Structure 1
Amino acid sequence: MSSNSTADNLCAPGDTICVIRVYEQEVIIVPTLLLLFFLGTLLAVCLLRYCPERRRARSTAPQPSQNQHPYQRSSHRHTQRNSRRQDLQGIDAPPGLNALEHEELPMTVQPIQQNVRPTLAAVPQTATARQHAAFNQVTALPLSFCAKTDNSVHLYRARMDSRDVVLRVLKETADSSEKQHFLGFASFLSGLGPHPFLPALVGVVSAQSPLVMAVEELQHRDLLGFLWRCRQDNSGGESPCDLTEKRIFTMAGQVASALDYLHTQRCTHGNVAACSILVGGDLTAKLWGLGPAYRRRTQAGSPGELEDMELRKWQAPEVLARRAVTQSSDVWSFGILLFEMVTLGDPPFAQLMASELLQYLQRGKTLKRPATCSNSLFAIIRSCCQWSPQQRLSMSELIRKLHAGEKSANGRTVIRVPEPLDMEKYLREAGYGEAYNYAVL
């Protein structure tokens, strides 16, 4: 009311300009000041939010100095060069372009504490270089029956420091849990330590993407494929595929030595089979296939995980009955491995379905002696594959028997199996699923 009366007193009726002047402060000046204050506040918030982080990033970025070692300065330039190469994704570069041909990657094997669940921190993100070398001749590793595809990992073969290696490369699309698993598995392998009959973990690239695990490559790859090639080799001359019973005792003794070492590290393998053995150019056998052992250690897997296992015919009766995998069940599987070796890759219990095996064993039946197997070797197989875990050979007894058998075994007669490999028949008799993807190489 007072405002209206003021305007009526000061302004003549109908004088609009006069009325605007009376209300100028309330209608124009105050809203304008409020708008300017709002814009100033918004600008200050933006400056506080973004500018300090940019300054901090510039201040913490490592700058090369004249006092640095030449390698440190080259590493700095290498990092800057990588930041500009967004078009290349390391080993996943376009076909025909070897992105790692001239790049140095920090390689390190990180130790872990025993009996500690591996975590992402177990392989530090700031890797210290154990050795620096360039991957070259990087090519995709051909898949075989035993080299299964993994949704999160690429497999490559390469040369590093004049030696052949297999690269397990985590895909760029991997999520945090897959990265955790990848680095945890690398840490687990590193923690097992070196052994002459375990493939050497050459190094782990953990400080930059892509994450890479480098493991020594063995010339003949998996033992099962090697046995199948021996079966198909009918040349009659000296050949790396010529297996004698003496050689089987030697290779089996090497695998048993590695298995015994794992047991001393409180690691149960649980996956002993020809697919889990790698063979070198000099026919040295090395035990691999440690993925299930790592999963059991980190995830406390229950015996119910047998539902997802394809190697049921290699498992001990107690494992088929959904009890835990033990060192004694590894001994049972080792007996099945000996059967595979002496038959040049035949599946065990071929006449049975995997679902019938436990009932078959409950009736006191076991493997039949192959025609190519001597009595002394078959006696060891039977001692490994006893129904009661307490009646099976201990690892020390097994190694002693293998060494004794090696001394007296036939080293001249080459084992031959006349029947050619029928893959469809093998898949059916070994108990694999029909959709298994394979290629014999």
Structure 2
Amino acid sequence: MTQVLKKCSLSDKLCIVWQQQYEIIIIPTFLVGIFLIILGVILWLFLRGKRTQQQSPGLQGIAPVPPSRSPNGEAGGHGGSVFVPLKVTSVESLLQTSTHALAQLQVPREQLSEVLEQIYNGSCGAIYRTKMYTEDPAKSKSIVLKTLKEPARLHEIQDFLGRIQFYQYLGKHQNLVQLEGCCTEGEPLYMVLEDVAQGDLLGFLWTCRRDVMTMDGLLYDLTEKQVYHIGKQVLLALEFLQDKHLLHGDVAARNILIQCDLTAKLCGLGLAYEVHTQGAIASTRTVPLKWLAPERLLLRPSGIRGDIWSFGILLYEMVTLGAPPYPEVPPTSILQHLQRGKIMKKPSSCTHTMYSLMKSCWRWREDKRPSLTELRSRLETAARTADDRAVLQVPELVIPELYAAVAGISIESLSYSCSVL
């Protein structure tokens, strides 16, 4: 076009028309190109946001877990002292590598009964209740058998072995679910755990709502004094974890097992395992929003005071016999609810002393909440004068599907599967 214009005289009208056509074509084309590029960027950002929402279960009342701090304020995680190193290329060599570390935990497979009662079937493997025999048949005991699905990939086996070693690292505590042993010399892999026949505390609380005094010869009533008794045991378990620089991260009635004598055993230690072995919690790990402290909801690093906030929710669960927290607030609106300075109202069956304990756990600032030791001391003081005769009563029975929707959890989580790591 430039060459053509050079051959024209200034008075040549046809050349002027060509020059104007050149400007009319190039400038709009340039503007359209910029528009298409901007439109493409906006569309890409929109699709990426939609994909993130679909992958994140936060809209259902569950949030990803932020990094955690150890009780002394440092970042959580202590390397990988109980993590089986993945330096092998086959399942056989991996099992051989871990044989020495788990030698004291091995249970001969012939000691396990062939009669298995399946109590849960998860994505990683089924969970059974069965019996473990000893040399004295009269001393056989019921145990829970967690299995790893077959065929399992190398990293799945590594993770399964790492969780067994984590139990070994923790050691024994009367208020934690105990590891009885394992079968890992070959596939299928088994994790042998103690059986707590009454199941999880949430189901127990729901049973207490029924208008019966006994069931199978066991008393199913709960008093204020017994609530303090159970709460104290949970605090003892949390103190034990704190001494090992561990956080629980998901303190809730569904993650506590209860025995016939009301001995409470904290379970659901998957978050503690991940922080301890990897220094962070897996991005796929999620926790129901309504049990999280504000700093967790804001995706900030959380310390042991985050567990204390959740303990206050646990007290509410117990005194209401398993009611979902914040029943009038949608799970996805819980952060805005707390930011307005609102907390749960005192339940009708709750004394002022217990509600005061709850409120102390729900202080917005972490440093304003009591420590585990302070909280346990206050619980023990309150228990001395607590009513041990008046039975907590809630007339309505629970519909699990409705509870799951209000609490913002999946119906599958309301299962005995919470009893395993």
- Give the conservation status (yes or no) of the 8 Å contact 1:310–1:431: no
- Give the conservation status (yes or no) of the 8 Å contact 1:202–1:216: yes
Task: Report the counterpart of residue 125 of structure 1 in structure 2.
Answer: 99
Judged with a 3 Å threshold, the aligned counterparts in structure 2 of structure 1 residues 320 and 153 are, in CA distance, closer, same or farther, namely same
The one of 228, 243, 254 aligned to 1:264:
243
Task: Report the counterpart of residue 130 of structure 2 in structure 1.
Answer: 158
Task: Report the counterpart of residue 388 of structure 1 in structure 2.
Answer: 365
Task: Report the counterpart of residue 285 of structure 1 in structure 2.
Answer: 264
Indicate whether 1:296 and 2:275 are aligned: yes
1:20-419, aligned counterparts within 5 Å? Answer: 116=81, 118-120=83-85, 124-126=98-100, 128=103, 134-136=111-113, 138-143=115-120, 149-160=121-132, 161=134, 162-235=140-213, 239-301=218-280, 305=283, 309-419=286-396
Larger Rg: 1
Partner Cα distance (1:216, 1:321) in 2:
37
- Give the conservation status (yes or no) of the 8 Å contact 2:80–2:278: no
Question: How many residues end up aligned between the 2 structures?
Answer: 321
Secondary structure at the aligned position of 2:99 is classed as coil
Matched to 1:119, the amino acid is: V
Matched to 2:227, the amino acid is: I
Deviations 1:213-262 (A, max 9, x none): 11101111111111111112434898431111111100110111001110
Judged with a 3 Å threshold, the aligned counterparts in structure 2 of structure 1 residues 236 and 284 are, in CA distance, closer, same or farther, namely closer
Q: Percent identity?
A: 37
Judged with a 3 Å threshold, the aligned counterparts in structure 2 of structure 1 residues 343 and 300 are, in CA distance, closer, same or farther, namely same
Report the CA distance between 1:357 and its aligned residue: 0.8
Judged with a 3 Å threshold, the aligned counterparts in structure 2 of structure 1 residues 308 and 267 are, in CA distance, closer, same or farther, namely closer
Partner Cα distance (1:337, 1:330) in 2:
10
Partner Cα distance (1:381, 1:428) in 2:
24
Higher relative contact order by CA 8 Å / sep ≥ 6: 1 or 2?
2
Judged with a 3 Å threshold, the aligned counterparts in structure 2 of structure 1 residues 356 and 308 are, in CA distance, closer, same or farther, namely farther
Secondary structure at the aligned position of 1:124 is classed as helix
- Give the conservation status (yes or no) of the 8 Å contact 1:353–1:429: yes
Task: Report the counterpart of residue 399 of structure 2 in structure 1.
Answer: 422
Report the CA distance between 1:385 and its aligned residue: 1.1
Report the CA distance between 1:436 and its aligned residue: 4.7
Judged with a 3 Å threshold, the aligned counterparts in structure 2 of structure 1 residues 436 and 163 are, in CA distance, closer, same or farther, namely closer
Secondary structure at the aligned position of 1:348 is classed as coil
Judged with a 3 Å threshold, the aligned counterparts in structure 2 of structure 1 residues 150 and 297 are, in CA distance, closer, same or farther, namely farther
Backbone CA RMSD of aligned residues? 2.6
Report the CA distance between 1:426 and its aligned residue: 1.1
Q: Give the TM-score normalised by the residue count of structure 1.
A: 0.68
Judged with a 3 Å threshold, the aligned counterparts in structure 2 of structure 1 residues 170 and 325 are, in CA distance, closer, same or farther, namely same
Partner Cα distance (1:140, 1:297) in 2:
32
